Amino acid sequence: MSERYVHRWIDGSEMDLPVGKIVCVGRNYADHARELGNEVPDSPLLFMKGANALCTLHEPLALPAGQGEVHHEVEMVVMIGKRLSGETDLDVIRYSIAAYGVGLDLTLRDVQARLKEKGQPWERAKAFDGAAPVSGFVDARGISVRQNLEVSLEINGEMRQHGHTGQMLFPTFELIADINRVFTLEPGDLVFTGTPSGVGPLNGGDSFTARLGNILQVFGRVQDAPSQP
């Protein structure tokens, strides 16, 4: 990460919101849960990443070395604009969202497998520095996430992940209603809403395109792998 992360609009201008926590949702697409051999949950599976995990998709991604495969998980990302604590009114929740973006929930898959075998938390696999690269954000006004928005990721020109927000087990506003009963959501917090099937490894030198419907698309690349001595 070449500079301190700040939230930005898609045009590159800085947003007037602080950088806060990241609440992530696991297994929010049934096909993704099944592809990893996991049960489909009957309530949202939540985990956290700290602000240190944030970086931008617009700069080359640096992957952790020597820790096994790093998997991509493309997701719609929700930016909170107003404080939410115990709010159940879905209209209030809707108007508390400032913006939408797209991000990658990077996962050290081999590390995660070892942690799961031992019944241990996932932070080592999910919350490392740079584990939550995100796009610039698009103003929520005029965007209806009740529509079936495409969420997709191409790697080196090949479609790897492709789904739609209508496939989410827990839709956006209902999901945030559940989250803010557990964690107070503050302006600048992000919610990663889950990934469709097709997750797999990223490698040094890969190029990618992440898309959220016709709202935005981001072209990026992974830093070249270090040369072997």
Say if 227 falls within a structural domain: no
Say if 2 falls within a structural domain: no
CA distance 169 to 176: 13
**Reported pTM:** 0.94
Say if 5 falls within a structural domain: no
Say if 10 falls within a structural domain: no
pLDDT tens by residue, 82-129? 999 999 999 999 999 999 999 999 999 999 999 999 999 999 999 999
pLDDT tens by residue, 128-177? 999 999 999 999 998 887 778 999 999 999 999 999 999 999 999 999 99
Please report where in the chains the tokens 């970086």 appear, as a residue: 55
Whether 41 contacts 170, CB under 8 Å: no
- Return the CATH number at 121: 3.90.850.10
Which of 121, 102, 98 lies closest to 186, judged by CA?
98
Q: What is the per-residue pLDDT for 223? A: 95
Say if 4 falls within a structural domain: no
Residue 194 has pLDDT above 60, yes or no: yes
The helix (H) or strand (E) run that includes residue 77 is strand 74-80
Say if 8 falls within a structural domain: no
For residues 137-164, one letter each, b for 16 or more C-beta atoms within 10 angstroms of the residue's C-beta and e for the rest, the string is: bbebeebebeeebbbbbbbeeeebbebe
Structurally, the chain folds into a number of domains equal to 1
Say if 226 falls within a structural domain: no
| Residue 15 DSSP one-character state | P
Say if 77 falls within a structural domain: yes
Q: In terms of residue numbers, what domain contains 52? A: 22-221
